[in-house]
Amino acid sequence: MSLFRLDASIRGEQSISRAVADTAETAWTRTHPSGLITRRDLVASPVPTGTWISAVTAGFVPPEQRTEEQAKAVALAATYVDELVAADAYLLAVPLYNWGVSQHVKSWIDVLLTDPRLAPGQESPVRGRPAALIVTRGGGYGPGTPKEGWDHATPYYRRIFGDQLGLDLHVSEVELTLAEVTPAMEPLREQARRNLDAGHASAGKHGELLAQHALGLAA
């Protein structure tokens, strides 16, 4: 059994999304202690600048006429999709930055979608496989909050991973992750801790669910 894990937080060891994803991974590993885990860290290995443009333009010329940059971009897109196709389940730890999608994740998705296997109208090769989506937000965006409706990332993540790729999504959301390091958010720290505890609990359940679901798909 194999798990594909995606990380995109820029906060390193202080990252909440990475910590919550660790909880889900631990739950997965309990069921698959010898399972393969493929890791794609988009901060440690960001998508090279210009890759998307080269991959898109490569689609308009015969392979033998592609530039070196186009050939490299097509090969990288294929590598990204190969990683997804080879996995039985997915752990996607993605943050909200400036009310939108992380640039690292958006670049990766843009390149992914240039591969013919994920082209519009094609049946997704990963459709129906289980995925734990972990979304972290520094502030609060729930109903009645000043920033209600400002989260433009989570709907996008659901659309791409759930609707476009066809993954069976199980979502864990953690808000107020910056409360502990932001003086103005001190009154929210207790709520932030409760949110974090709930996020870890949810991720643990989803990690176990991924393992059981993947076993069912492989049976």
Q: Are 218 and 88 in contact (CB under 8 A)?
A: yes
Distance CA 192, CA 45 (A): 30
Distance CA 171, CA 49 (A): 30
pLDDT band at 218 (very low <50, low <70, confident <90, very high): low
Helical axes 51-58 vs 103-112, angle rounded to 10°:
20
Q: Are 52 and 181 in contact (CB under 8 A)?
A: no
Q: Are 133 and 163 in contact (CB under 8 A)?
A: no
Q: Does the domain at residues 2-218 carry the CATH identifier 3.40.50.720?
A: no
- Tens digits of per-residue pLDDT, 118-155? 988 889 999 999 999 999 999 999 899 999 999 999 99
Q: What is the DSSP letter of 47?
A: P
SS3 45: coil
Dihedral angle computed from the Cα positions of residues 10, 13, 15 and 17, in that order, rounded to the nearest 10 degrees: 110
In the chain, what are the domain boundaries?
2-218
Distance CA 104, CA 10 (A): 10
Whether residue 215 has pLDDT greater than 90: no
Distance CA 46, CA 196 (A): 27
Q: What is the DSSP letter of 176?
A: -
The predicted structure's pLDDT at residue 81: 98
The predicted structure's pLDDT at residue 152: 96
Average confidence (pLDDT) over 143-170? 95
SS3 86: helix
Q: CA separation (Å) from 68 to 49, 53, 55, 63?
A: 15, 13, 11, 11
- Tens digits of per-residue pLDDT, 50-63? 999 999 999 999 99
Name the pTM for this structure. 0.93
Q: Classify strands 100-101 and 168-174 as parallel, antiparallel or unpaired.
A: unpaired
Phi/psi for 148 (5° steps) reads -55, 130
